[in-house]
Structures are given as C-alpha cells and as structure tokens.
Amino acid sequence: MKTKNERLGEILSLAPVIPVLQFDDTETAVNTSRALVAGGLPIIEITLRTPAALDCIRAVCKQVEGAVVGAGTVLTPALMRDSIEMGAKFMVSPGASLDLLEANQKNDIPLLPGVATPSEAMGLMAEEFEYLKFFPAEPAGGADYLKALAPVLQGLKFCPTGGLSADNAMDYLTLDNVVCVGGSWVAPKAMIINGDWDGISELASNAAQLA
C-alpha cells in the first residue's frame, strides 16, 4: 500500500497546474471540469466556499471521466469527513490546525496543508508531510521567497497558490522545490458565466504545456 505522501505526489505530478475553483451549482461544476480535463488539466480542486460545494465534488467525481477531484478550503474535521464522503481524492487547506491534523491521521485521503513561513513548514515536516501548499503565494513573497526556502527546507515540495497567472506561473514552476502550481486563472468567472467551454479548454491546454 502506497503512503499518503506517495499518493499525493502522484496526484500533484499529473499536471503542472491545478485549477482552484468555486461553484454555485453542479451543472456548472461538471461543464467547467469537463472543459479543463479536455484541455489537459485532470486535477481539479473545488473549494468548500459555497453551499453547493460538496454536491459539486460528488457530481464531478461521478460525471467527469478522467477528473481527479480534490476538496479545497478544508478548514475543519467535519469538512474533511464530508469531502471524503463525496469522493474527494485529496484535500487542501490554507493552513493546518491541530484539530485538522489529528483528523487527518484517522483517514486515508491525503491532505495538502498550507504554509507561509519556515516555522509552519518545519512543524508539518515534523508531522512527516512532504508536500505543502504555499499560500497566499504572491502576497506572502512570491517565487523569490519560495526559492529562498529550498536550501533550508530540503525534501519539501510546494504547490504555490494565490495570485498566480499565466504570466508568473513559470517563475514558480522552474523552482526545484515546486511540484505544481494552483490557481483560478484557467477558468475565469466570465468564461464560466458565458459557458465558454472551448475558451476554458484552450486556457487549460496552454497551462498544461507549462513546465
């Protein structure tokens, strides 16, 4: 049986970019996710910031072939349990509370917890995490900051999110301690509202070719 770190590493290595998205209804979630998968981005993080989020995770897991769906903004053990019940294959949190880490030890679905400082990262290294989200990447110091962590936090790999775009994603993807990046730019709100699925597939295809 593979470890959680191994499974998370495999998921995060499937594509250079993870779309990080929030949806108000399942139909939009399914259509957007189909467009992203068609463009070459199979890993999709659906954030738990809307009342429909859990239903959206379940719908995309069931209806979108090839999608590997994660739950984002998992702030509590209850949300962790609900996400797993809906079929999430990984979970992402902006930080790591003691409650969340304790709940994480009791299940088998990998967690990608967020950090913004060396002390936070060291705390999670001690808990044997190998993959961390760097959040909020741009406001916290950007690619230069993350680069400076590489020699002192050896063995850790990061997925930076927060403020990334097609313009700066490569600044991160070229760093040795970055496994992939996350962001909402591959499925802009306006394109989702207009049902511009071809446009989203094209943005996804461009993002899939980064790195």
> Which H or E element spans position 132?
strand 131-134
Residue number, 70 or 183, with CB nearest to ligand 3PG: 183
200 contacts: CB under 8 Å, gap ≥ 6? 32, 35, 36, 39, 186, 187, 191, 192
Residue 163 engages ligand 3PG in binding (rule: CB under 6 A) = yes
Q: Which range in 5-13, 30-38, 97-105, 178-186 contacts ligand 3PG by CB under 6 A? A: 178-186
Angle at CA of residue 191, ends 24 and 46, nearest 5°: 40
47 contacts: CB under 8 Å, gap ≥ 6? 20, 21, 22, 53, 71, 72, 73
Minimum distance, C-beta of residue 72 to ligand 3PG, in the bound complex (Å): 7
Minimum distance, C-beta of residue 163 to ligand 3PG, in the bound complex (Å): 5
Q: Which range in 60-68, 104-112, 143-151, 162-170 contacts ligand 3PG by CB under 6 A? A: 162-170
Given 83, 161, 168, 177, the residue binding ligand 3PG (CB under 6 A): 161
Query: Per CB under 6 A, which of residues 25..84 are in contact with ligand 3PG?
Result: 47
Minimum distance, C-beta of residue 187 to ligand 3PG, in the bound complex (Å): 10
Q: Alpha-carbon distance 207 to 146, whole Å? A: 21
Residue 142 engages ligand 3PG in binding (rule: CB under 6 A) = no
Residue 183 engages ligand 3PG in binding (rule: CB under 6 A) = yes
Per DSSP, the three-state class of 68 is strand
Count other Cβ atoms within 10 Å, centred on residue 203.
23
Show the binding pattern over residues 86-125: x = contacts ligand 3PG (CB under 6 A), - = does not: ----------------------------------------
- Catalytic positions: 45, 133
Given 162, 177, 179, 204, the residue binding ligand 3PG (CB under 6 A): 162
Which parts of the chain fold into alpha helices (H)? 4-12, 26-39, 53-63, 77-86, 98-105, 118-126, 137-140, 142-149, 169-173, 189-193, 197-208
> 119 is written with which tokens?
């002390």
Question: Interface with ligand 3PG by CB under 6 A: which residues?
Answer: 20, 47, 135, 161-164, 182-185
